[in-house]
Every structure is written in structure tokens, then in C-alpha cells.
């Protein structure tokens, strides 16, 4: 009997330890703040819209910030933390130095708007505000609006070293991309859908220069597109120069990104490979031919992404300042 009890205790402790190692999404709910901050979504939406009116960069900057946050230690706003003398935070990793300041500012302004309401003050996590702001910028740029699950806590750590090897690179092939996304519970279809975020935003010339100045030039690139890129990004170009990821509709969230891939106009190797590799081509063609199919897959993938590494009250907190642990 004692042995049975011991086994039961061991089994229960193992179950609990697995639960806390991999917090399930059951704690997330669209109604998480229904009683504590009932007008949360409208407060965030208004703050984001105001920032959007100031600069369109708000859109790609916030979307990219959410992705970079979730892929490193989960969706816990750890990317927002500022480095200190004792700690180099995620945002100062080389892969994160190109994150536009407008993304951070969007969250800061939305957080200030939420905390200006006495009932809501210090009740809403920075991680949830970033998730809501991301949904709102997508909708503001013509993309789908969707229900955001809420209830994330903010992370307790943010280390530069945690970023190593976690984020996709412009030179990645399909196997490398699939591996990075699978590590976060995301499928190849999810990866292709989330890559559609490159319908917005911009890139510095150095990220793709090797494709247009190699000998020979990358054969998967459209020749006319190469000429345009060389004109916009001449050799020894000012490193601050950036060009649109989507040369066709750069300020609209749409499925034109996939139509560009069909024409050899994927800016990064990691973009174009989605069409040139036969294993992913059919999905690209499907998204290119139907904005509804793309949008529904994008929303599903964003929802799954938002569940990655969710922190609980046991291993997280509600930050009063999003940039301070």
C-alpha cells in the first residue's frame, strides 16, 4: 500500500512539474480581464490607432516585436526589457538591434493608456498589451482582426544569450525554418502563413546584398527585380538605407507577398525558398490565390504563436514598467 501511495505521489508530482514546465493555454481566455479591466481592448486599440496615425512604421515594428518576443522564452514581453549594468537583455542581441523603436513605443503608449484607468492600473501584463497591439496593427493595415487570448504574465528574465539560434535568419533554407518553428510547436503551414508578415516592413540592404552581388546572381531572383534592388542598394550603400519587403503593396497587409514569391520577388533567401522548394510551393500557391485562405491560416498561426511559453503567476509577474524586470 505504501508503495502504491509513493507511486501516486510521484505520478502527481511529475504531472505538476510537466504542467509548469510547459504551461498549457487553458489559462488564456479572451475574457481574462472582463472584471478587472473591462474596456482593455478599446483602450489599447485607441492608443495603437493614435500611434499608427503618427507613423506607418508602427505596423511592421509592432508585428516583428511580437514575433521576436514569442520565439525567445515565449510570449512574455522579455524583449521589452532594457539592459542594465548587471544584465545584457534580449533587445541588445545582434538579431534584435534592428527592431524599430516604434514597436517598443507602441507598447509603452498603450501601457500608459491602460494604467491611466484606475481600475486597470498594474492589472494588465505587458505581454498581453503587446499581443493586443499586434492584432490591432494588422487590422489597421488592412489585415484580418481576430480574437486575442489573454492571461499571459510577464517574464522574470531577459538575457542576450537566450536569443542565440532561436530566430530565423534571411539565409535559412526550408529545413532550418521548419526546425525553428517546430521548436515552438508550429507546423510548416504555420511558418509559411507567418512569413506572410513580410507583406509589410523593410530590410536593410546588407541582409540580402549577397543575393544580388554574387557571381552569378541568385538564379531564383527575378532579373528585373535584381536590377531594381541594385539601383536602390548600390555597393557601399549607406547602411541606414532600408527598402520595402513587399515591392508591390508595401503598406497593405495582404496576400501579395505570396504572389511576389511566384514571380521570383522574395527579398530574402528564406522568403523565396518557400516557393522554390517543392515541399512548400503548394501552400504558397494556395495563399497566393486566395486572401481568405491566407487570412484564416495566418490568424490560426498567430493564435498558436501567442500560446508559446506562456508564463503563469508562478513564473511570471505583472510589470509596472514594461522595460524593467
Mean pLDDT of 270-285: 98
**pLDDT tens digits along 303-315:** 999 999 999 999 9
Residue 142 has pLDDT above 80, yes or no: yes
Query: Region 156-162: what's the mean pLDDT?
Result: 98
**Domain count of the chain?**
2
**Short-list 171, 179, 189, CA closest to 302:** 189
pLDDT at 273 over 70: yes
Same domain membership, residue 135 and residue 103: yes
Q: Looking at the structure, tell me whether residues 46 and 146 fall in a common domain.
A: yes
| CATH code, 258 | 1.10.420.10
pLDDT value for 129: 98
* CATH number of the domain residue 102 falls in: 1.10.520.10
Average pLDDT of span 252-259: 98
- Only one residue has cell 501601457, namely 111
Same domain, 120 and 223: no
Nearest residue to 48 via CA among 165, 134, 128: 134
Interacting residues of 165 by C-beta distance below 8 A, sequence separation 6+ = none
pLDDT tens column, 100-135:
999 999 999 999 999 999 999 999 999 999 999 999
204 annotated active-site: no
Range of the domain at 150: 39-162
Mean pLDDT for all residues in the chain: 93
Please report which residue ranges of the chain form alpha helices under DSSP H. 2-21, 40-54, 58-70, 101-115, 126-140, 174-182, 188-195, 209-212, 223-232, 256-262, 269-276, 278-289, 291-305
Q: Which residues are annotated as a binding site?
A: 69, 72, 74, 76, 78, 90, 168, 198-199, 246, 249, 254
Q: Does the global pTM surpass 0.95? A: no
Residues 44 and 157 in one domain: yes
Asked whether the beta carbons of 108 and 322 are under 8 A apart, the reply is yes
Give me the percent of the chain exceeding a pLDDT of 70: 92
Query: Which of the following is catalytic: 22, 68, 93, 204?
Result: 68
**CA dist 168 → 72, 78, 126 (Å):** 11, 18, 24
Specify the pLDDT at position 236. Answer: 93
Alpha helices, H only, 55-99: 58-70
Would you place residue 11 in the very low, low, confident or very high pLDDT band (cuts 50, 70, 90)? very low
3 inside domain:
no
Q: Following DSSP, what letter does each residue of 179-245 receive, concatenated?
A: HHHHTTT--HHHHHHHHGGGGS-EEEGGGTHHHHSSSS--TTS-HHHHHHHHHHS-TT--TT-EEES
Mean pLDDT, rounded, for 55-69: 98
Judge residue 228's burial from the number of C-beta atoms within 10 Å of its C-beta, 0-12 exposed, 13-18 middle, 19 or more buried. Answer: middle
Cα–Cα distances (Å) from 210 to 94, 99, 206, 216, 282, in that order, read: 19, 22, 8, 10, 27
Q: Are residues 136 and 86 in the same domain?
A: yes
* pLDDT score, position 158: 98
- Tell me the pLDDT band of 25, cut-offs 50, 70 and 90: low
15, pLDDT greater than 90: no
Mark the binding-site residues for substrate, compressed into ranges: 168
pLDDT tops 90 at residue 276: yes
Tens digits of per-residue pLDDT, 165-198? 999 999 999 999 999 999 999 999 999 999 999 9
Question: What are the tens digits of pLDDT across the range 211-223?
Answer: 999 999 999 999 9
Say whether both 44 and 144 belong to one domain.
yes
Q: What is the pLDDT of residue 26?
A: 56
Q: Which band of pLDDT confidence, cut at 50, 70 and 90, is reported for residue 292? A: very high
Q: What is the mean pLDDT of residues 202-215?
A: 96
Q: Work out the pLDDT band at 65, boundaries 50, 70, 90.
A: very high
Which residues are part of a known binding site for heme b? 198
Residue 26 in domain? no
Residue 136 CA to residue 146 CA, distance in Å, equals 9
Amino acid at each position: 500500500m505504501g508503495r502504491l501511495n509513493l507511486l501516486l505521489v510521484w505520478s502527481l508530482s511529475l504531472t505538476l512539474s510537466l504542467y509548469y514546465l510547459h504551461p498549457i493555454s487553458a489559462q488564456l481566455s479572451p475574457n481574462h480581464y472582463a472584471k478587472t479591466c473591462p474596456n482593455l481592448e478599446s483602450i489599447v486599440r485607441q492608443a495603437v490607432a493614435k500611434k499608427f496615425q503618427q507613423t506607418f512604421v508602427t505596423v511592421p515594428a509592432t508585428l516583428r516585436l511580437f514575433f521576436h518576443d514569442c520565439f525567445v522564452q515565449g510570449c512574455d514581453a522579455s524583449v521589452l526589457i532594457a539592459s542594465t549594468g548587471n544584465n545584457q537583455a534580449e533587445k541588445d542581441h545582434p538579431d534584435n538591434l534592428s527592431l524599430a523603436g516604434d514597436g517598443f513605443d507602441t507598447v509603452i503608449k498603450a501601457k500608459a493608456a491602460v494604467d491611466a484607468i484606475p481600475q486597470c492600473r498594474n492589472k494588465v501584463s505587458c505581454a498581453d498589451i503587446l499581443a493586443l497591439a499586434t492584432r490591432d496593427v494588422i487590422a489597421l493595415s488592412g489585415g484580418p482582426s481576430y480574437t486575442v487570448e489573454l492571461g499571459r504574465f510577464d517574464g522574470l528574465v531577459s538575457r542576450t544569450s537566450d536569443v542565440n539560434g532561436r530566430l530565423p535568419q534571411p539565409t535559412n533554407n526550408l529545413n532550418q525554418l521548419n526546425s525553428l518553428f517546430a521548436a515552438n510547436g508550429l507546423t510548416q503551414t504555420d511558418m509559411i502563413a507567418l512569413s506572410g508578415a513580410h507583406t509589410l516592413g523593410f530590410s536593410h540592404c546588407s541582409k540580402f546584398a549577397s543575393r544580388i552581388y554574387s557571381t552569378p546572381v541568385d538564379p531564383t531572383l527575378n532579373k528585373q527585380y535584381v536590377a531594381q534592388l541594385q539601383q536602390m542598394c548600390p555597393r557601399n550603400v549607406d547602411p541606414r538605407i532600408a527598402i520595402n519587403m513587399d515591392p508591390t503593396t508595401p503598406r497593405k497587409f495582404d496576400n501579395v507577398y505570396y504572389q511576389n514569391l511566384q514571380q521570383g520577388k522574395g527579398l530574402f533567401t528564406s522568403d523565396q525558398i518557400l516557393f522554390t522548394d517543392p515541399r512548400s510551393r503548394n501552400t504558397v500557391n494556395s495563399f497566393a490565390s486566395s486572401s481568405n485562405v491566407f487570412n484564416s491560416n495566418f490568424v490560426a498561426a498567430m493564435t498558436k504563436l501567442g500560446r508559446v511559453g506562456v508564463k503563469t503567476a508562478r513564473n511570471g509577474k505583472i510589470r509596472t514598467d514594461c522595460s524593467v524586470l
